[in-house]
C-alpha cells in the first residue's frame, strides 16, 4: 500500500511539535568518509550516531527497529568502502555475512555491538588497501598524519620535524616511494574528501573550502576543476546522493 501525503504531513507536524529532526546528510556522511579513508575514528563516530537520541523510527518493535537501521547503515558502509577502492564483490560479501549474523541476534545491545564490529572490520579493510605498498617508517608516519589532519594546514617543515628528517630528504623519499610530492598527496586526499562532502552534504562551496583548508572558495573551485574535470557545482549536480541513499542515511539514527 503506498503512503499518502497526509501521512507525511502528519509526521512532519509531530516532529515540529516535538522539536525533532533527523541528522543532516553532512552529519551522517562523516562516519562513512572516515571509513573510506581507513580512519579508526569511524568506529567511534558510528557508535555515537547509532546511539543518537535523534529520531529514525522504522518499527514499533525496538529490536526490529535497530535491525532495520543496521541494514541501512551497512549498505552505506559497503558503498563507501567500494568508493575507497575495495572490490565490490568483497565489500558486498562482507555486508552479506554481517547481515546474516545480525539476523540471528536477539537483543538490541547485540545489534549495537555488531554494528561497531562491522565498522571496525571495514576500517581495517580500507587501511590494508592504503598500506598495500610497503613504505618506510618516515613516509608511513607522514601518511598517517596527513590522513588525520586534512582539515588543517599541512606543512613539509612540520612533517619533517615529526619524523626527524630534513625537509629535502623527506620530500625526496616521499616522492620516490609514493610517486607523488607531499603537497600533491595532500591535495588528492582533500579533493577526495571534497567529493564526499559534495555528494552527501549541503555544505556550500565556501564552507567546504574553509573546512579543507583551501585558501579561498575560488582556489577550491579552480583546483577541483583541474583534478576532477568538474566544477563543484557540476559534480554535485551529477553525483549528489539519491533520495534513497539520503533516506537510508537518515534511517540509521535511533530514536
What value does the mean pLDDT take over residues 235-243? 76
* H-only helix segments in 84-179: 88-103, 108-130, 137-148, 156-163, 167-178
d(C-alpha 20, C-alpha 230), whole Å: 37
Query: Is the same domain home to 99 and 155?
Result: no
Provide the pLDDT for residue 248: 46
Query: Is the same domain home to 123 and 247?
Result: yes
* Domain boundaries, position 193: 137-239
Q: Answer for the pair 78, 94: CB distance below 8 angstroms, yes or no.
A: yes
Contacts of 38 (CB under 8 A, 6+ apart): 84, 123, 124, 125, 126, 127, 128, 129, 130, 147
Query: Is the same domain home to 91 and 16?
Result: yes
Query: Is the same domain home to 14 and 125?
Result: yes
DSSP 8-state class, residue 53 = S
The answer on pLDDT for 254 being more than 50 is no
Question: How many domains does the chain fold into?
Answer: 2
Provide the CA 219 distance to its chain's centre, in angstroms. Answer: 24
Query: Is the same domain home to 126 and 152?
Result: no
Provide the pLDDT for residue 55: 44
Query: Is the same domain home to 127 and 246?
Result: yes
pLDDT tens, residue by residue, 121-148: 999 999 888 766 668 889 988 988 898 8
What value does the mean pLDDT take over residues 46-51? 88
The answer on pLDDT for 101 being more than 50 is yes
The answer on pLDDT for 244 being more than 80 is no
Provide the pLDDT for residue 59: 74
Query: Is the same domain home to 32 and 46?
Result: yes
pLDDT tens, residue by residue, 110-122: 999 999 999 999 9
In whole angstroms, how far apart are CA 211 and each of 122, 135, 203, 205, 208? 25, 29, 10, 10, 5
As a whole number of Å, the end-to-end CA separation of the chain is 25
**Mean pLDDT over all residues of the chain?**
82
pLDDT tens, residue by residue, 56-71: 666 778 899 899 999 9
Percentage of the chain lying above the pLDDT 90 cut? 49
Query: Is the same domain home to 110 and 220?
Result: no
Q: Answer for the pair 217, 190: CB distance below 8 angstroms, yes or no.
A: no
Rg (CA), the chain: 20
What value does the mean pLDDT take over residues 172-189? 93
CA-angle at 106, arms to 104 and 109, nearest 5°: 115
Query: Is the same domain home to 159 and 228?
Result: yes
d(C-alpha 100, C-alpha 185), whole Å: 39
CA atoms within 13 A on the CB side of 47: 11
- Higher-confidence residue of 6 and 105: namely 105
pLDDT tens, residue by residue, 79-100: 888 877 788 888 999 999 999 9
DSSP for 212-240 reads TT-S-HHHHHHHHHHHHSS-HHHHHHHHP
Provide the pLDDT for residue 8: 44
Query: Is the same domain home to 108 and 197?
Result: no
Write the CATH number for 210. 1.10.10.60
pLDDT tens, residue by residue, 9-48: 544 444 444 444 444 555 667 888 889 888 888 999 999 8
Provide the pLDDT for residue 17: 45
d(C-alpha 212, C-alpha 109), whole Å: 36
Cα dihedral across residues 121, 124, 128, 134: positive or negative:
negative
Query: Is the same domain home to 150 and 96?
Result: no
**What is the band of 247 on the pLDDT scale with cuts at 50, 70, 90?**
very low
Query: Is the same domain home to 99 and 224?
Result: no
d(C-alpha 101, C-alpha 95), whole Å: 10
Amino acid at each position: 500500500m503506498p503512503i499518502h501525503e497526509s501521512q507525511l504531513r502528519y509526521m512532519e507536524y509531530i516532529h515540529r511539535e516535538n522539536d525533532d529532526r533527523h541528522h543532516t546528510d553532512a552529519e551522517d556522511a562523516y562516519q562513512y568518509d572516515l571509513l573510506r579513508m581507513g580512519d579508526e575514528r569511524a568506529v567511534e563516530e558510528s557508535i555515537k550516531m547509532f546511539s543518537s537520541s535523534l529520531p529514525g523510527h522504522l518499527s514499533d518493535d525496538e529490536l526490529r527497529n535497530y535491525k532495520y537501521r543496521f541494514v541501512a547503515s551497512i549498505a552505506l558502509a559497503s558503498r563507501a568502502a567500494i568508493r575507497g577502492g575495495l572490490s565490490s564483490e568483497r565489500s558486498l560479501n562482507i555486508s552479506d555475512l554481517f547481515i546474516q549474523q545480525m539476523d540471528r541476534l536477539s537483543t538490541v545491545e547485540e545489534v549495537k555491538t555488531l554494528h561497531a564490529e562491522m565498522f571496525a572490520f571495514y576500517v581495517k579493510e580500507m587501511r590494508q588497501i592504503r598500506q598495500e605498498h610497503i613504505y618506510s617508517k618516515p613516509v608511513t608516519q607522514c601518511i598517517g598524519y596527513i590522513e588525520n589532519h586534512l582539515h588543517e594546514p599541512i606543512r613539509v617543515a612540520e612533517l619533517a620535524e615529526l619524523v626527524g628528517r630534513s625537509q629535502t630528504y623527506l620530500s625526496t623519499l616521499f616522492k620516490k616511494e609514493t610517486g607523488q610530492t607531499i603537497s600533491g598527496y595532500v591535495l588528492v586526499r582533500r579533493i577526495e574528501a571534497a567529493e564526499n562532502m559534495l555528494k552527501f552534504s549541503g555544505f556550500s562551496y565556501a564552507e567546504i573550502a574553509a573546512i579543507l583548508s583551501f585558501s579561498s572558495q575560488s582556489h577550491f573551485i579552480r583546483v577541483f576543476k583541474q583534478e576532477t574535470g568538474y566544477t563543484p557545482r557540476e559534480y554535485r549536480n551529477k553525483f549528489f546522493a539519491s533520495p534513497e541513499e539520503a533516506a537510508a542515511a537518515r534511517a540509521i539514527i535511533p530514536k
